[in-house]
Amino acid sequence: MKKLHILNGQGTADNFELEGDQIVWNEALACGPTHYQVASQEYHQVRQQFYRQYTNLPLREPFQFSLEEYERIVTREMNKLSSVGDYDEITLWFEFDWFCQINMMAVLSWFWQAKVGLDHLYLVCIDDHPAVEDFRGLGQLSSMHFGPLFENRQKLTSEDIAFADKVWAAYCGQDMKALEAFIKNNTPDAFPFLTSAFQHFQQLFPNTENGLNVIEYQMLDILRTQSPDNRHQWVGKMLRQSNPHLGFGDMQYYDSMQRMNDLWEENGQVKLTSLGEQVLNEQQNFLDIQPNEFALGGVNNVDYRWEANTQTLINKK
């Protein structure tokens, strides 16, 4: 039996030794604009245009990103999907956080659109593991842990895959409230973490109190309480302390850092500016100072507001 494993990132691939071929899914579809037809020419045009901003992130030096790197770690791996018809069994390995969940929806949408492999797709998706105290991802596991997880993989039905396709289509659309209702009312048992992950995703929109999203607030709160020595230490603290249900990595934190460049300063230590303190204390609204419009799927962040008191996403379009 010829097996294929679609892994959720390089961190998982580094310790993965099970029999079979691999595709490493290195996309970051929780950020930036998207296109419904995954892996199409139009899709890559949209995503490459988005990734161009990461090729010029001076705050991330010396860890820069290039479009050549995107071609190597994203496009080439994704192009391997064209050969999935050669396999008898295909297993997807993803995690509980929004970063992974929306990537997983996109992968399954590709299968639904291609009408290939639909009767032999399996899923491994977990939110904890007894070997890891603070579980954040499959990359924390040793090679010996993957075998038992594989033995307990779940077979996906055509209804599960069709649902994922509809979630991905809605995420690429222009109505996050409709996506919220669809997920709330239709999510099958195959995706037990999707509803919670989407609730955390909604907090990526600016909150009604000070215009910060949850990542921006956490980053500024670290400056208020912990005083990192430099911006790289600041990102390191976010990687260890941030909301695990979002699943973001260093590139997303450097990007947020750059958008908030009027709210912090680096001089011996990284600390809040007076403006940053005012925003964090809800004396100023970040959106009034710097709109910082960016895409989340098919919408822009400024199209909605997150009302923390009622846990409600408000349409501002």
- Numbered ranges of CATH 1.10.10.10 in the chain: 205-315
Mean pLDDT estimate for the chain:
94
User: How confident is the model over 29-52, as a mean pLDDT?
Assistant: 95
pLDDT, one tens digit per residue, over 81-106 is 999 999 999 999 999 999 999 999 99
Instruction: Provide the 10 A C-beta neighbour count for residue 119.
Output: 10
pLDDT for the residue 52: 84
pLDDT for the residue 69: 85
C-alpha–C-alpha distance, residues 215 and 196, integer Å: 17
Instruction: Provide DSSP, 161-186.
Output: HHHHHHHHHHHTTT-HHHHHHHHHHH
C-alpha–C-alpha distance, residues 208 and 283, integer Å: 12
User: How confident is the model over 123-131, as a mean pLDDT?
Assistant: 94
pLDDT, one tens digit per residue, over 226-283 is 989 999 999 999 999 988 999 998 889 998 998 999 999 998 899 999 999 999 999 9
DSSP 301: G
pLDDT for the residue 60: 58
pLDDT bin (cut points 50, 70, 90) of residue 51 is confident
Task: Name the token pair of 46.
Answer: 């949209």
Peptide bond between residue 62 and the one before it cis (omega within 30 degrees of 0)? yes
pLDDT for the residue 228: 96
Backbone angles phi, psi at 75, to 5 degrees: -65, -45
Residue 20, pLDDT above cutoff 60: yes
pLDDT for the residue 77: 96
Residue 65, pLDDT above cutoff 90: no
Q: pTM of the full predicted structure? A: 0.95
User: How confident is the model over 128-148, as a mean pLDDT?
Assistant: 91
Residue 63, pLDDT above cutoff 60: no
pLDDT, one tens digit per residue, over 290-306 is 878 899 999 999 999 99
Please check whether residue 279 is in contact with residue 285, taking contact to mean a CB–CB distance below 8 angstroms.
yes
Q: Which of 32, 60, 29, 16 is nearest to 247 (CA)?
A: 29
Q: How many residues are present in the chain? A: 317
Q: Does domain 3-192 have CATH number 3.10.530?
A: no
pLDDT for the residue 317: 73
Q: Span 205-315: which CATH code?
A: 1.10.10.10
* Element of type H or E holding 221: helix 214-225
Residue 59, pLDDT above cutoff 80: no
pLDDT for the residue 8: 96
Residues facing 3 on adjacent strands: 89
- Numbered ranges of CATH 3.40.50 in the chain: 3-192
Provide the residue type at 90 as one letter.
I
Return the SS3 of 235. Answer: helix
* Element of type H or E holding 239: helix 231-241
pLDDT, one tens digit per residue, over 144-183 is 999 999 999 999 999 999 999 999 999 999 999 999 999 9
98-114 and 158-171 helices, crossing angle to 10° = 110
* Element of type H or E holding 48: helix 41-51
Determine the Cα angle at 284 with ends 278 and 290, to 5°: 110
- Give percent of the chain with pLDDT exceeding 90: 84
Return the SS3 of 228. Answer: coil
Of 45-49, 288-292, 308-312, least confident by mean pLDDT is: 288-292
Residue with tokens 């960016």: 294
pLDDT for the residue 53: 77
